[in-house]
Structure 1
């Protein structure tokens, strides 16, 4: 999120090195993992558990300043359970900017936060709102070098007065919030007085005691470290237990695996004799992890972690943009990540036992009342290749098998593309159940940044039976689906991070290519990198749409454009190198990887 200037500077420095290293050589760099051996994951419908908690359906900021945006039609389908805010970056600088008192800067922030909380904690959402007390105070990384932090020189009186004002304003509003006292107090730009330092504990203890004195039923959240850290949390639990200021909700940010981190946090609480309490991760997903596939992986791990709530982090549009942390485009259109959250929200009934494998994670649910079972698949490493979803225990769900003895399987691919009007249908057909209790669903992971949603309903003979065909950019021999290239196009082989290891490329303005296909939809894959230019795409001679291939980090095989749903039949795409480029790009290259054709 753009709360973090130090992290952004590091990221920009790395991007600068990437520009120097990759300019003119985009065909030889590869991601950490471009492919893998066939993988199997599974869900067991005979082993139901608790109702889906939708723990990961949360957002750090992501709403308009007054909380009115985005529209319910874009928010309700995600079944959000957690929001977090406190007016960061609003003009005036909060309590700090007002000269360490309540003035217009503080008022703007508390008004924004309470307006947001009022919307999302009421019907139909009934979500939790974590009020970022430190953002109200002014610690949003914009504070000046001469800032007097809470309890500097042992004086906590102004800090106590501030906390009293916050609690008074919250109680007067009638809005229910949880008090998240200080954001990332571990040496980041938010707290300059040392992680778990004596001054930190004076600040923390003062806030907790004042909040509980004024509002005994209040929920306190912390310590909100910038990442899961065993040692820091160990020290925090020990000290706050001794001080009588333990939080009601134990919280941290990010982490490699929420399931492993939560297990460790539970063990630490037990070791300190701290009664079990909810855990939250109110920021997760670094900027480079925010794609549909990684998001699905983290949601899957949250589903089995025991973490009660988690909020998607914000990096590029803090803090009053109603984009749900970039799940929506600037124009308010859904992206691949939005559809991933939509698939996650559809899980209902009861969660079921699942087995993930390597970089592919899966979570599933079964709902007898709706006669439906769901599964969501994602990768945390960009892994591609064949994955099989094994659905077992169908003997325990006879309501899922139709009169024809089959289960209807709908496999939808969620490409990491923005905007995306709907997922792509990979399979939509009745499938026979093996030995009465097992079903194997193939999922062709052609891009590790994509997510897949699988829906099972009773077989009834309906469905398009639709499939998706992958057509490499070098397929030019005619037939149902093929490419054509005019002058000034070249081809390169042996590219490890592209489908079939090939790329068709041009850097000449006006160079034209075509893609001829039989189907109802097509998704185009091309390189996005620091030296890519802008090309146009048109369907059947219609209006051309510009596609910008620039990106600060390489993505060699992601979806860059998806057609609308077309009438089934023959269609032609026309691709033209415009000779133009993004101002940040170092070249006019266009590199075509492949196309995915959906046909009924």
Structure 2
């Protein structure tokens, strides 16, 4: 079977690597334990429900409410969005009640009243059984010297900690007898201390229900299996457990957001059936680098979405180099009820053969359809469309029961998903892969700039960069980077620029083709120079070689890589029904592999399929159901009938949109979505049209869309902004608010950026006010959007913004689009 992926990077080795999947070697039900995050949520609504629900989060770690360690991320506050989106349990980092890092050591007598307050608040919550108490965080680094070489000092410090552990655990259980406690939560795996800890905790009846430690070294990719095996052996020796394990901080900064790195971590945790939360290195509220703004997926989010889509049992995967840093790794699952096998892999460039052994003919028949998709690295703040299918092929199962999927030109920072389904009759639609090429900035011609090395194994906590290098210090009048590119034909090309902009305002560069008249490219702000975002522009090129120049504009911008892709039409994606989330008990029909190749999902009364549909911007898109009969689509609280093959015009929010499908009886192959986000028919109102009251003011700004924004809004009941909107018809609309704010609090942490959110109470007509959260936009002059479903009456209505108790964000303009638009 020939599955060829686009070539990229250095020439591949002569012999492809081999990753073997054994479908006859089950490891247990898919647990999804490794999808959690420390401070992944910052507020109710950040991240949004649309990006939280698809991840099927099993655990997160947050601070106690009112904790001074960070300005947001309170456990009880974020629990509302976490639980309503199907979240599992919340680890409460109790010592984050303190403001400093390392925590100020005011003694155990100061800590105990704080423990009482935390436990009383959590135990009173209706979902108290879904919270886990973590009494100490990295105690070996904070208040106790537990890893020194001096044995006498170690024993004294150990005994002091164990006494405090017992005191705090007893204090927790005196208030909440059913409390679930986790620990000891050291900075790493230390067997000497763990033996003493477990022996003491068992003897004194203060054994935690969940064992926790951190894996925060690049060496963890090599060492974790040994740590896990050693720990389980220790349990057996002491007659304890086996206890549930949560590695509640894992990965380096260079791993976060990078699909090819994340698959290495997740595969080893899922294989060992442990829970794990990504580390909090930067800003709260973005799932540790996997969610852009509040609702937009990046490449890392799509990897975790794939992970959340695994069902059935995981099966044994043998990589070319087990327990080795930065190598090809993978995980796989077999679901016999759905008749699907899925393999997730990545972490290495070049060529690989994925050999799937013991493919059961009773499940798949004599041939299978193999569908391969790629999730690339788009930066921490770089949007990523639905992963593109790069190959779709039918193949016979070999006599020995194996199927081999050759993958060529793997990209190191990408993850790949292989889906095997029964072949059926017919031929899957050919994959139309557009021409694309990538160009590293450090390999281009650089004038008045400097190449920097980022995110290597030796500097594991540096930020990720494509090829581990980028170009910065482009701050001179003549600074520029010249990319020599060669394209196959005349036409329009999408140019994606991975960049960083720490200037504090939207920055520009001058883009020119072959020395022609330059055009300005505007880059929104990023957290820092190396916190990657992605800017998409288009260029017109003739066939042949060209010089694309990005030269300094009004401020410096860091450049990492540019991707050039031929455009043949508006963006389009086909979402396979058999890979959607389901409700009820739909059946899977693989009698034909025509179309998307993965068969059809058969919906009956009580069944539901939910699709995660990506929109590059707020606007109208063409949506077509590939079904045998009419279905009902529900999105943003609106429902509409979709006839087979007939186009609907739906208004979608920038980022991920959850589209639910139901039907009395329909066989569904896919939901097809295309378009650039048309604004035709959208109602738009600039800040100057709002009626302002109280202290709200119209402020002039060259960065606002019409030269002004509403500022000084809120912080009192009288300070409001009211827009009068004129709806052509009654119904459900999406209200899109263009806003900016840059509230933050500096706690002096070396690596956390304590950005803060703002809220606004939005009142539409006579409806009750609704509180909406607006994430920090990195600067006061960068405008993001938040989409809120609202109901409008026909004719004039007022949309009023305010906040009685705090400042609301600055508002540039609002837009309203009827969810179901006119054809």
TM over 0.5: yes
The more displaced of 256-265 and 366-375 is: 256-265
CA 1:34–1:335: 2 relative to 1, 3 Å:
farther
How is 1:195-594 mapped onto 2 (pairs within 5 angstroms)?
197-254=158-215, 256-257=220-221, 258-290=224-256, 291-307=258-274, 309-318=275-284, 322-330=285-293, 332-358=295-321, 359-379=327-347, 383-394=348-359, 396-401=360-365, 405-417=366-378, 418-435=382-399, 437-459=401-423, 460-467=426-433, 471=437, 509=480, 515-517=486-488, 536=511, 575-580=548-553, 583=556
1: CA distance, partners of 2:96 / 2:269: 27
Provide the residue aligned with 1:478 in structure 2.
none
Provide the residue aligned with 2:700 in structure 1.
none
Report Cα offsets for 1:564-586 as digits up to 9, x if no partner. Answer: 9x9xx99999843122497585x
1: CA distance, partners of 2:313 / 2:340: 11
Report Cα offsets for 1:480-505 as digits up to 9, x if no partner. Answer: xxxxx99999xxxxxxx999xxx9xx
2: CA distance, partners of 1:522 / 1:371: 38
| Pairing partner for 1:167 from 95, 114, 119 | 119
CA drift of 1:86 comes to 1.0
Report Cα offsets for 1:343-369 as digits up to 9, x if no partner. Answer: 111110121221112221111111223
CA drift of 1:596 comes to 7.0
Determine which structure has more spread, i.e. the larger CA radius of gyration.
2
| Pairing partner for 1:114 from 60, 67, 76 | 76
Q: For structure 1, which runs of at least 5 residues remain unmatched after alignment?
A: 1-30, 95-104, 151-155, 475-484, 490-496
Are residues 1:61 and 2:53 paired?
no
Q: Is contact 2:493-2:564 (8 Å) kept? A: no
1 or 2, which has the higher helix percentage?
1
Provide the residue aligned with 1:24 in structure 2.
none
Q: Is contact 2:23-2:358 (8 Å) kept? A: yes
2: CA distance, partners of 1:35 / 1:554: 29
1: CA distance, partners of 2:231 / 2:567: 45
CA 1:546–1:217: 2 relative to 1, 3 Å:
same
Provide the residue aligned with 1:141 in structure 2.
101
1: CA distance, partners of 2:535 / 2:408: 19
Provide the residue aligned with 2:615 in structure 1.
none
TM-score (norm 2): 0.53
2: CA distance, partners of 1:133 / 1:295: 28
Q: Is contact 1:259-1:306 (8 Å) kept? A: no
2:289 is paired with a residue of what secondary structure? coil
CA 1:208–1:582: 2 relative to 1, 3 Å:
farther
2: CA distance, partners of 1:526 / 1:82: 31
Q: Is contact 2:92-2:134 (8 Å) kept? A: yes
Q: Is contact 1:315-1:325 (8 Å) kept? A: yes
Provide the residue aligned with 1:191 in structure 2.
143
1 or 2, which has the higher strand percentage?
2
CA drift of 1:241 comes to 2.8
Aligned residues: 497
TM-score (norm 1): 0.70
CA drift of 1:327 comes to 0.6
CA drift of 1:445 comes to 4.6
1: CA distance, partners of 2:432 / 2:181: 51
2: CA distance, partners of 1:62 / 1:487: 37
Report Cα offsets for 1:376-413 as digits up to 9, x if no partner. Answer: 0022xxx311111111111x144334xxx532111111
CA drift of 1:133 comes to 1.1
CA 1:591–1:55: 2 relative to 1, 3 Å:
closer
Provide the residue aligned with 1:97 in structure 2.
none
1: CA distance, partners of 2:39 / 2:466: 36
CA drift of 1:252 comes to 0.6
CA 1:591–1:272: 2 relative to 1, 3 Å:
closer
| Pairing partner for 2:53 from 43, 65, 76 | 76
2:164 is paired with a residue of what secondary structure? helix
CA drift of 1:233 comes to 2.1
